[in-house]
Amino acid sequence: MYQKDYILRMLEMLADLIAGILGLIGKGRFEEAERAVENAYYDFLKQDASFFRNIPKAKLTSVLLQKHDYTHGHLEVLSELFFAEAEVKYHLGRQKASLGYYEKSLILLEFVLEKSKLFSIEKQQRLAFLKNRINELATALL
């Protein structure tokens, strides 16, 4: 029960952080947004951002669940962090980099939703957004 409460609190704090990062992006304060995302990886998951960036998409869930004992809650947090990083890169005009982060965010979110078997309108909207953005970027980068 404590683990679940901890993850829920962590997700609430992360939602506030993501809102703040998106606010910084909206104000054109991209360097601050990048720093906030960088710090959030360690603050929330106790690993440097490069650790997560270097995991290939195809092995993302297996590496984190099997080799590092992450929970589905951790994967949801990481999905949100990848989303925030993708948004920063997208607004900086780094389309190729943002595509990779959007794809990783989608992979983790789909995995978590499949395993939890819970329905959330917000998460369904995020899924739709991610799929649309990935499609848009993939088409533009051809």
Q: Does 19 have pLDDT greater than 70?
A: yes
> How far is residue 73's CA from residue 103's CA, in Å, rounded to a whole number?
18
Looking at residues 32-36, what average pLDDT do you find?
93
> How far is residue 1's CA from residue 20's CA, in Å, rounded to a whole number?
29
Round the average pLDDT of the chain to a whole number and report it: 89
User: What is the structure's pLDDT at 44?
Assistant: 86
User: What is the structure's pLDDT at 12?
Assistant: 81
CB contact at 8 A, 98 and 25? no
Looking at residues 118-123, what average pLDDT do you find?
82
Residue 37 CB partners (closer than 8 Å, separation 6+): 21, 49, 81, 84, 85, 88
pLDDT digits (tens, 9 = 90+) for 43-101: 888 888 999 999 999 999 988 888 777 888 889 889 999 999 999 999 999 999 999 99
pTM of the model: 0.89
Q: Does 127 have pLDDT greater than 80?
A: yes
User: What is the structure's pLDDT at 1?
Assistant: 46
Nearest residue to 19 via CA among 40, 50, 48: 40
